[in-house]
Amino acid sequence: QVLSFVIPTQLQRVTHRALHRLFHTRSRLFVVLHVALQAAVYGEYSWEVFVYCWELQFHLLLLLLPYLLLAGNMACFILCSRADPGIITKSNHASLVKMYVYDGVLFQKGIVCPTCDMEKPARSKHCSFCGTCVHRFDHHCVWVNNCIGAFNAKYFFLYLFTLTAMAATIAILTAAFLIQVVLLSDMMHGTYIDDQGQEQAVEILFLIQHLFLTFPRIVFMLGFVILLTLVLGAYCCFSLYLALTNQTSNEWYKSRRYGCSHCLTLQPCDGQVVYKNIYSKGIWMNLKEIFKPCTVLEGKKK
């Protein structure tokens, strides 16, 4: 009975430590998984879809578009993972504190980070993964193994956009190939014998089953990239919304505790504080803040 209690307890501790190292420290595991998934999709696209589409006389530039997007995506990935997101240090702390005012709701003046032993500038947050405070902290992305902050947010947005475009382009080309196969075979006007021995006209479900049996890997890849396009597209739209309204993921999540508004003042509502986004300066200035962030030196001049 003692062993039956001790062994599961030790197993739980080991599992907890492994999960803590995986999800609470910087790890390259998700980067490797990310690269492996890209390699699998592009391997299948190059090995079958590209060859079949070339035989069907698809335009070469259209077939090469996924590779051009891949090159741009890898460049954005490297920049995003290697760039300084805006780590707050003793030397730049004084300048970064002056970048944004405290709104008094999400960011309070005088809050000291117990780990970094510095007052937290407005819109900053301590990242438990990296062990540092980050200026204009958005989130820690395990797929690039780095924080997303003021100085690499533009690279992350471009990385996300090109990743979505890659998945969408491969999905469109793969679907176009399968549609071309169906049209050339004139399968839609055919018939088949069902389990009861009755002759039936070809339906969509039968067509999908036939294509899956004929091109199993291609159909499976198509389903995967369509799902990926939908998920990434939704996240890309959300990131664009945050950029246009000058919010970070961290701020958006924290603001859910309060009433949602984008006005420039704070107002009480039934005795409760309603959060108002004071950092939005209009669509153009908000985008400029993402793609041309104010540096420490520029902050000193101001």
CA triple 2-5-15, angle to 5 deg:
140
Active-site amino acid positions: 141
Distance CA 65, CA 49 (A): 13
